[in-house]
Structure 1
Amino acid sequence: MSDLKTMYVRQRKYIFLLLSFYVLGWGFTSYQSIFLGLILGTVMSLYNLWLMTRKTEQFGAAVEKGEKVRSLGTASRMATAVLAVMIAMKFPEHFHLISVVFGLMTSYIVIMIDFFLQTFLRK
């Protein structure tokens, strides 16, 4: 398995762990809209992480073959974020908007934490 795929699998596990805590928070606390917003944003963030991993693999394969390199899918990741915010704005009684935004940042925070853990734990 490539290093990129290994990182993706590890980061996906971390995100699923966070999602399980969010689901427990949604089910057992009175802050349901906040946790539902975190769930929506984190699910979209996980989708963006998968998209970024897939596009990066395609980018690497194109470079190895000497082909023309296409975009890394920034527009599609932004469209996913806009969709999540639109859902939160359409149903404000169910989703807390700020929580959705924090959820959208989850994969990037997980990537940074995973990088630091892997860097300092390998020494």
Structure 2
Amino acid sequence: MLDLHHIFAMQKKALFFLLALCALGWGFTSYPTVFAGIAVGACFGTYNFWILVRRMDKFDRSISEGKKTVSLGSALRFGSGIASVAIAITLPQYFHLISTVIGLMIPYVFLFIGVIVSSVRNK
């Protein structure tokens, strides 16, 4: 299995590629709000994944040191998701709500694809 930091590095590379595609879609299609929503959602989704990686490191350290375990930051990630949706709701002329929610899920789709590719390579 891949290290969580390696997975996050791959996520960042995929995010930059996705943001470039969103910038092209925003600039050259008739759906700029959809591509802007995907970009905002993907940024917040990657931020949520970064929070998860950071909290998992703290969790692993506390388990290995025998200390009491800490929270994995679910409330912070939930709040971040609410913030991205709030941006899309308050600025509908710039961001499409449904595409923002889809963008929030893109890092997890990238994670799923990465696991599949990793398991195929290891076979």
- TM-score (structure 2 length as normaliser): 0.95
Share of identical aligned residues, percent?
Answer: 38
SS at match of 1:93: coil
Unaligned runs of 5+ in 1: none
> How many residues were matched structurally?
122
Q: Residue type matched to 1:91 in 2? A: L
What does 1:108-119 align with in structure 2 at a 5 Å threshold?
108-119=108-119
Aligned Cα root-mean-square deviation (Å): 1.1
Deviation at 1:49, TM superposition (A): 1.0
For the 8 Å contact 1:15–1:110, the answer to whether it is kept is: no
Q: Is 1:56 the equivalent of 2:56?
A: yes
Partner of 1:44: 44
Alignment of structure 1 residues 67-78 onto 2, 5 Å = 67-78=67-78
Alpha-carbon distance in structure 2 between the residues aligned to 1:20 and 1:117 = 23
CA distance in 2: counterparts of 1:91 and 1:11, whole angstroms: 27
Residue by residue, what CA displacement relative to the aligned partner does 1:4-25 show, whole Å, maximum 9, x if unpaired?
2111111221122112111111
State the alpha-carbon separation in 1 of the partners of residues 116 and 83 from structure 2. Answer: 31
1:122 aligns with 2:89: no
TM-score normalised according to structure 1 size: 0.95
Give 1:33's aligned residue. 33
Task: List runs of 5+ in structure 2 lacking aligned partners.
Answer: none
TM-superposed deviation, 1:103: 0.3
Higher mean Cα deviation, 83-92 or 13-22?
13-22
> Deviation per CA, 1:75-95, whole angstroms, max 9, x where unpaired?
100000000111111011111
Deviation at 1:27, TM superposition (A): 1.2
SS in 1 for 2:71: coil
Q: Distance in 2 between matches of 1:14 and 1:51?
A: 17
1:56-91 deviations in Å (ceiling 9; x for gaps): 111111110011001111110000000011111101
